Structure 1
Amino acid sequence: MLYKQTQHKVLPKKILARRIFFIIIGSILMGIGIEEFLVPNQILDGGIVGISIILSHLLHVKLGYFIFLLNIPFFYIGYKQIGKTFAFSTLLGISVLSATTIFLHDFPVFTNDLLLATVFGGIILGVGVGMVLRFGGSLDGTEILALLFSKKCPFSVGEIIMFFNVFIFISAGFIFSWNRAMYSLIAYFIAFKAIDIVMAGLDESKSAWIISDHADLIGETILARLGRGVTYLKGEGAYTGENKKVIFCIINRLEEAKLKTIIEELDPSSFLAIANIAEVRGGRFKKKDIH
């Protein structure tokens, strides 16, 4: 029975169709950001795409071919390291991205202004990548490569990706120009922040932990004035040995100030810790109507 439960389950058709739809849309957006904003202005992205842009410029071959060919080894690695669903999602995303860049290669560009191309290219690219990542795929083999290297060297995945991209941007300085390399770095930073926004969502959920001698009153007030459910946990002070009731709840960024006001009104001496969380699913965390 346990063996059957741990096997991979086929995704329901509705969820699979939704995943495919958003991976395709995200890949098209990345292709637009690259081919209509960045590449015509000699601005690079990081990772395998950045290397593909350099090779395309030097060899005068359409970018999409390099993006697809250079990512082929990572389909297999992704399949072995992460799973079949991830590998096929990545294959779909890379295929659509490659086809989009090939299709848009001869289209008129949106702008030749370097600043506008950097900002809007970075935003569109980041939104596209974030969308694909959020729905289980990838558009670049750099992360998979970094995952493999991190197992054999003392550097983290993030540090390896950073070293890899620094090398690409330095290469861009020699091949294009140093101001193009600096614009590329700005575009990369903008794309990185856009990915964060798409991955975390605009709601920006936060977890709140409250320790107070008036936990019941605070919990009832949060429920009544914020419409948020709370969970009571049992805690014990390590120094005093006293039993404490801990309140746990989920809020969004718009409710953070109101929560602090409630705490300040009811128990200014209480302990409050608030942290960002990436995702909330299930349970009874859905906001209730405020009466």
Structure 2
Amino acid sequence: MKGIYRFLLVSAAAVVMAVDINTFVHTGGLLPGGFSGISLLVQDIFKTYFNIKIPYSPIYWGLNVVPAAICFKYVGKKFTLYSIWMLVLCGVLTDLIPGLHVTDDILLTSVFGGILNGVSVCLCLFAGATSGGTDFISIFVSEKTGKTIWNYILIWDCFVLVIFGILFGWNRALYSIIFQFASTQILNTIYRRYQKYTLFIVTNKADEIIALIRNRVNHTCTIMEGKGGYTGDDRKIIYAVISSTDEFKLVQSIKEVDPDAFINTIETKFLKGNFFMKKND
């Protein structure tokens, strides 16, 4: 059942991305990020300078061969296979399906095209896959370091856009930056697998909460002794670092175990040391 869910989610992501390319990207003459953008740039170069029209999918697939092989070996086999399905389906649909006319306003095209692109990538990530290209690279680095590098990918995309601007005009390149910025913000907002939170929990039911944390996130925590400033009673303070994806449900469960628990949640900017994170399969 889970496999069917992942397959359908990845398929939906491919449809959304193909529609986005044919509707917003082509309408605005924009350049999306990653290998998708490089593929469209190669298409534009051959069409403009050599009067040769080449299909999108062979370029897109060719660029992804090496990153896919690396992820297959080091990240996860199912993860990579679902990602390859995304690449194949998106490439075919981009060459086959017609675009829709939504608006001629290039600013609206840039913003909403970027939002759709970000949603497509997030659908892939929620399914335990990726849209390929620089996303392969980003996931590989994040698995190795535990850090998100979406903003660094944006810097690389801007470098590609400089080439695009020199060849095809700066207006299209600058609007493409808006497109890519909108896409990146959607990713940073919706997909939070590699973001972490620190919990400080003041409680009288430390043993039960420690067991709960261990069962939910598969790692333990640190216990500190405290004293109530008002009552002077002894308190246990539990210190734990968790993935942001676990934060909401875990806090709810803690409140069920101890309704009187005082919980302080802090976003963790940097973490060094052993931290368990479920691997991509």
What TM-score results when the alignment is normalised by the length of structure 2?
0.66
Query: Which residue of the partner structure matches residue 183 of structure 2?
Result: 191
| Matched-pair contact (CA < 8 Å) for 1:235–1:243 | no
- The 1:276–1:96 alpha-carbon spacing in structure 2 relative to 1, beyond 3 Å, is farther
Is 2:79 the partner of 1:86? yes
In the alignment, which residue of structure 2 is the partner of 1:235? Answer: 224
**Rg (Cα) greater in structure:** 1
- Deviation >6 Å, runs of 4+: 146-150, 204-207, 248-251
1:117 aligns with 2:109: yes
Identity of aligned residues (%): 24
Q: Structure 1 residue 210: deviation in Å? A: 3.7
Give the Cα–Cα distance (whole angstroms) in 2 for the partners of residues 29 and 148 of structure 1. Answer: 24
> Is 1:245 the counterpart of 2:236 in the alignment?
yes
Q: Pick from 22, 33, 39 the counterpart of residue 46 of structure 1.
A: 33
Contact 1:129/1:139 (CA < 8 Å) preserved in 2? yes
CA gap 1:64/1:175 in 2 versus in 1, 3 angstroms? same
Which residue type is aligned with residue 209 of structure 1? F
Gapped runs of 5+ residues in structure 1?
1-13, 151-155, 218-230, 260-265, 278-291
The superposition leaves residues 211-256 of structure 1 with CA deviations (integer Å, 9 ceiling, x where unpaired) of: 4xxx449xxxxxxxxxxxxx9973147xxxx97412579875xx99
Partners of 2:128 and 2:265 lie apart in 1 by 31
Structure 1 pair 216/233, CA: closer, same or farther in 2 (3 Å)? farther
| Corresponding residue for residue 64 of structure 2 | 71
Structure 1 position 149, deviation (Å): 9.1
- Cα deviation digits, residues 59-78 of structure 1 (max 9, x gap): 23232332222212322222
Cα root mean square deviation, aligned:
4.1
Unaligned runs of 5+ in 2: 47-52, 143-147, 206-219, 227-232, 241-245, 270-281
> Following the alignment from structure 1 to structure 2, what is the Cα–Cα distance between the partners of residues 181 and 142?
19
Tell me, in whole angstroms, the C-alpha distance in 2 between the residues paired with 1:232 and 1:73: 39
Does the 8 A contact of 1:53 with 1:63 survive in 2? yes
- In the alignment, residue 77 of structure 1 is paired with which amino acid? I
SS at match of 1:235: strand
**Deviation (angstroms), 1:188:** 0.8
> What is the aligned partner in structure 2 of residue 7 from structure 1?
none
Aligned pair in 2 of structure 1 residues 206, 79: CA closer, same or farther (>3 Å)?
closer
Q: Partners in 2 of 1:88 and 1:68 — Cα distance?
A: 13
- Following superposition, the deviation at residue 124 of structure 1 comes to 1.0
Q: Which amino acid aligns with 1:130?
A: C
Amino acid at match of 1:20: F
